[in-house]
Amino acid sequence: MAYECPNLIGLKDGTGNMQDLNDTIKTVGDRLVYIGGVPTAEIVAEAYMAIGVNTYSSAVFNFVPDLANLFYQNLRAGKREIIAQITNEFFIPFVRLRSRNKGYAVSLIKAGAKLIDRSAGDVRSPLVMPTPEEVDQLQQIIEKSKALVSSLNS
């Protein structure tokens, strides 16, 4: 199928269904470039790498670019201890906050961008922005990420 469409060059996964994605990769092979695209793709980045997806789109890059780059560099270098530390200290708390509301995969990114003075505006209905308390929690997660980047870079 993919061979019948020569201008099809890649597949971006937005489901996180590793079984189906692995089936596609093993069936189609290196005919396509595979990109991870689930919300907060870093949380499954190691699983993506294991099946041949070596890159992903990072939504958190919009408000913690240094951390996103540090994570990716260490992922590619196979530094599992650093990946575990970043995952435990940033991504797990962020994903837990994101899981509070279905639309927060978008809303929290916009809130994070606003917190670093790079606002892209609020979400449109039916999505909602995080509550003030959740924005405070996001601010704390961002502050912890800055400290984490600083400690890992020293």
- Encode pLDDT of 87-100 as tens digits: 999 999 999 999 99
106: tokens are: 């978008």
Query: What is the pTM for the complete model shown?
Result: 0.91
Cα separation of 142 and 146, whole Å?
6
- Structural domain boundaries of the chain? 1-57, 79-154
* Per-residue pLDDT, 19: 96
pLDDT digits (tens, 9 = 90+) for 32-43: 999 999 999 999
Whether the Cβ atoms of residue 123 and residue 107 lie closer than 8 Å to each other? yes
- The residues near 90 (Cβ < 8 Å, ≥ 6 apart) are 64, 67, 141, 144, 145, 148
